[in-house]
Amino acid sequence: MPSPLPAGSTSIDPSRVAELTAAEHDLFERTHPRSRELFERARTVMPGGVPMSWMVKWPGAFPVFVAEASGAHFRDVDGHDYVDLCLGDTGAMTGHSPEPTVATVREQVGRGITSMLPTEDSVVVAEELRRRFGLPLWQFTLSATDANRHVIRYARHVTGRRKIVVHDHCYHGSVDETFAGLDASGRTVSRRGNIGPPVDPAETTWVVEFNDIDGLERALASGEVAAVLAEPALTNVGIVLPDPGYHEALRELTRRHDVLLVVDETHTLSAGPGGYTGAHGLEPDIMTMGKAIAGGIPAGAFGMTEEVSDRINASIELEDIDVGGIGGTLAGNQLSLAAMRTTLIEVLTDEAFGRMLPLGDRWADGVDAGISAYGLPWNCARLGARGEYTFTPDAPRTGAQAAAAGDFELEQLLHLYTLNRGILLTPFHNMALMSPATTEADVDRHTEVFGELLGRLVGSVQA
């Protein structure tokens, strides 16, 4: 999920952007009559005409309505085919409806969906997560958001401390404690757009800049911090990669101050079969994930060390275990676990990543080629099967730098232009993700369309 980006300088003439955008809106509306019809009907029964409010933010006067999706493509209700480089912002990183997961789900639906009892699948999945990510003990939720909510509660519970540290411009789902940011003077404040916070986030949260080791040390030395909740690389404000040594410092400082280190791998799973943690040898105390791990069937998971598990077990009475704020009736249900088992063991395999990672590079190579052919001061970041370009010459090192490089109008144009030519990018970002079903031809189609748009914009590149 995204964060709003302010308008920024991109070296592109805004009037050229406005002119091209108007033409793309016109094209979009002319070629999507059936989506418009459904949207008009939808508006009478859903606020904004969408099943979830943020879907109004897709570029275009109305969203594209999907007829069917398969592998790396989907078809809309007007019959257009799209290369899906958004893939449900990772929920469909497996490709849409991967055959093995679909077969398992079909079968499981007829054999029981939920019963509040464990199945053998839960054991197999936990064993597989341990093999991939290194943490020995696992629990299951219905979303990554829930996994993050639960581990924050546990962290506060076992440490007796009230705050968590997050990075500026992070996103970890709709988790109250994470809707905080830094103001100009470096104070933790409620984040722009924060809807109905239960308390001032400064009460619960200490925000530090990504890659700011001194800031991190100041926060942890306060003695108020239960846990650091961190993506290994920021992925929701553009991609911001860690400086060499940042993760080592994060681990050393959290250990020194007895603060739990929670790594959220929901998006950085793109780095490889064991996520960024596996690819770079991180040693978190707790790990969270969701989205792709059950092929799109709702599922989340969190893993922990034996030590964290012992601390939790020693502090919670059996009698209270269902009423303390951890759980959910459907969490760990038969269907989610069956889908997770097949997705992890048969779909998101080492071999699949062997195909996805080079495709991520191929996509970024195509973007880099366009950027350099037109002499634009932009750069493209790579995170395994994921890539993202930013309107700034150097890779941003902090969330604030990435946010300052954003340009909402230009992004809307890039998204609408590519959409009109059969390519869906991750909304509100310039991000693309490769699935096991994505092909080189899919990637090359993006390279072609991206280059074509730059050609139409470049007349306005300023000296």
Ligand X SMILES: Cc1ncc(COP(=O)(O)O)c(C=O)c1O
Closest by Cα among 78, 68, 82, 74 to 37: 78
State the Cα angle at 378 between 375 and 379, rounded to 5°: 120
Determine the interface stretch with ligand X among 140-148, 254-262, 335-343, 345-353 (rule: CB under 6 A). 140-148
Which of 76, 209, 264, 411 forms a contact with ligand X (CB under 6 A)? 264
Determine the interface stretch with ligand X among 171-179, 301-309, 314-322, 401-409 (rule: CB under 6 A). 171-179
- Contact in structure between 290 and 144 (CB atoms under 8 Å): yes
| HSE-CB for 19 with a 13 A CA cutoff | 10
Determine if 1 is a binding residue for ligand X (CB under 6 A).
yes
Determine if 144 is a binding residue for ligand X (CB under 6 A).
yes
Which of 172, 247, 341, 429 forms a contact with ligand X (CB under 6 A)? 172
Determine the interface stretch with ligand X among 25-33, 119-127, 156-164, 263-271 (rule: CB under 6 A). 263-271
Give the CA distances from residue 15 to residues 195, 216, 418, in Å, rounded to whole numbers and listed in that order.
33, 42, 19
| Rg over CA atoms, the chain | 22
Q: How far is CA 11 from the centre of its chain?
A: 28
CA separation for the pair 461, 124 (Å, rounded): 55
Nearer to ligand X, 129 or 453 (CB): 129
Nearer to ligand X, 308 or 433 (CB): 433
Determine if 94 is a binding residue for ligand X (CB under 6 A).
no
Determine the interface stretch with ligand X among 121-129, 155-163, 166-174, 408-416 (rule: CB under 6 A). 166-174
Q: Closest separation between CB of residue 451 and ligand X, Å?
A: 29
Which of 145, 277, 343, 412 forms a contact with ligand X (CB under 6 A)? 145
Determine the interface stretch with ligand X among 25-33, 170-178, 182-190, 405-413 (rule: CB under 6 A). 170-178
Determine if 236 is a binding residue for ligand X (CB under 6 A).
yes
* Amino acid (one-letter) located at 187: R
Nearer to ligand X, 301 or 453 (CB): 301
Question: Per the structure block, which two tokens stand in for 390?
Answer: 């930013």
Determine if 343 is a binding residue for ligand X (CB under 6 A).
no
Q: Closest separation between CB of residue 179 and ligand X, Å?
A: 13
Phi and psi of 221, rounded to 5°?
A: -70, -15
The closest residue (CB) to ligand X is 173
Determine if 173 is a binding residue for ligand X (CB under 6 A).
yes
Nearer to ligand X, 268 or 401 (CB): 268
Q: How far is CA 296 from the centre of its chain?
A: 14
Determine if 143 is a binding residue for ligand X (CB under 6 A).
yes
Q: Closest separation between CB of residue 241 and ligand X, Å?
A: 15
**Exposure pattern of 93-118 as b/e (b: 16+ CB <10 Å)?**
bbbbbbebbbebbeebeeeeeeeeee
Nearer to ligand X, 303 or 366 (CB): 303
Which of 290, 296, 406, 436 forms a contact with ligand X (CB under 6 A)? 290
Nearer to ligand X, 266 or 392 (CB): 266
Nearer to ligand X, 328 or 451 (CB): 328
Nearer to ligand X, 194 or 460 (CB): 194
Residues that bind ligand X (CB under 6 A): 1, 89, 143-145, 148, 171-173, 231, 236, 264, 266-267, 290-291
